[in-house]
Amino acid sequence: MFFASLSSVSSKLKCVKKDEGCFENGVFYPNGASVPNDNVCLECCPEILYCGCRYGDKVYKIGEEIPNGNPCETCTCHSIDKEVFWGEIACSYTTCPLPPPGCEYGDSKPGECCPEISFCGCRIDGKMYEFGEEIIDDDPCETCVCEQGDEIIETQSLCRRIECPIQEPGCVYRDRYPDECCPELLYCGCKIDGKVYDIGEVIPSENPCEFCDCVLDGTYEATSICETMECRPPPPGCEDIQTPPDVCCLNYDEIGCKTDSAI
């Protein structure tokens, strides 16, 4: 009985009797021995050139970054195991930090993940105000300023009421305009010895020869202007007559003293 032990390897092997072996190119090989062959197409497994990850129509090596068009996502080809020749794609994501309180991000630039801060301040009624800037209000008696809040993405405005001064008696005020809070003081009367006299009012004096009026000066300030009456000297023979304290000038004709001319 004859058989070929390596007939699948080469058609040139010669068969011999059982338990003897094979001849190849004139060389005898016993049963079980390896027979050299120059035909590389008879190799069983191809040589591994590299291991990696396939993404789309491209293969990436282990450790190589894989671009995917998302600037906030970073993907890399990782090896699963030393015994496994292929890899897997692992991705990490970048989370952009929240802007500071009262600040807003603008649009991201191409290729950048996180946008830049475009504005910090207060957004009120569709209008932007910077920190410290006065906010326009419909109420003229309220003053509001943009301030940075304590919470994230929150701004607040600090408002204060304007207190108008108490209107003094005897003073004249102009009615306020719609955009004004307090009426404008035009002028005040004359305040003398705790009493206020209106403009044009006579101010009494302890001196009967002094006459004072409350008037406005050139700066619209109320002031008192006084004039003193000068009496003529008494006629001859009337020098010893005493003038009463509440009388400025004596009428000598009425008291019996004759004079050459009227006082």
Q: What is the pLDDT of residues 156-214, one digit of tens each?
A: 668 888 888 888 766 778 888 888 899 888 777 887 887 888 888 898 888 899 999 98
**One domain, residues 1 and 39:** yes
* Cα 55 from Cα 60, distance rounded (Å): 7
- Does any domain span residue 5? yes
Asked whether residue 7 carries a pLDDT value surpassing 60, the answer given is no
Asked whether residue 16 carries a pLDDT value surpassing 50, the answer given is no
Which pLDDT score is estimated for 62? Answer: 86
Structure-token pair, residue 64: 């190589």
Within 10 angstroms of residue 235's Cβ, the number of other Cβ atoms is: 15
Percent of the chain with pLDDT over 70: 77
List the beta bridge partners of residue 59.
54
Structural domains of the chain, count: 4
- Does any domain span residue 15? yes
* Cα 32 from Cα 220, distance rounded (Å): 133
pLDDT band at 73 (very low <50, low <70, confident <90, very high): very high
- Does any domain span residue 197? yes
- Does any domain span residue 35? yes
Which pLDDT score is estimated for 95? Answer: 92
Compute the average pLDDT of residues 35-58.
67
pLDDT band at 91 (very low <50, low <70, confident <90, very high): very high
- Does any domain span residue 34? yes
Which pLDDT score is estimated for 170? Answer: 66
pTM: 0.37
* Cα 143 from Cα 158, distance rounded (Å): 8
Structure-token pair, residue 33: 């021995």
CB contact at 8 A, 4 and 22: yes
Q: What domain range is 73 assigned to?
A: 52-93
Within 10 angstroms of residue 75's Cβ, the number of other Cβ atoms is: 19
**One domain, residues 185 and 223:** yes
**One domain, residues 41 and 71:** no
Structure-token pair, residue 102: 């009262």
| Average pLDDT taken over every residue of the chain | 77
For residues 118, 119, 124, 130, the Cα torsion angle rounded to the nearest 10 degrees is: -160
- Does any domain span residue 258? no
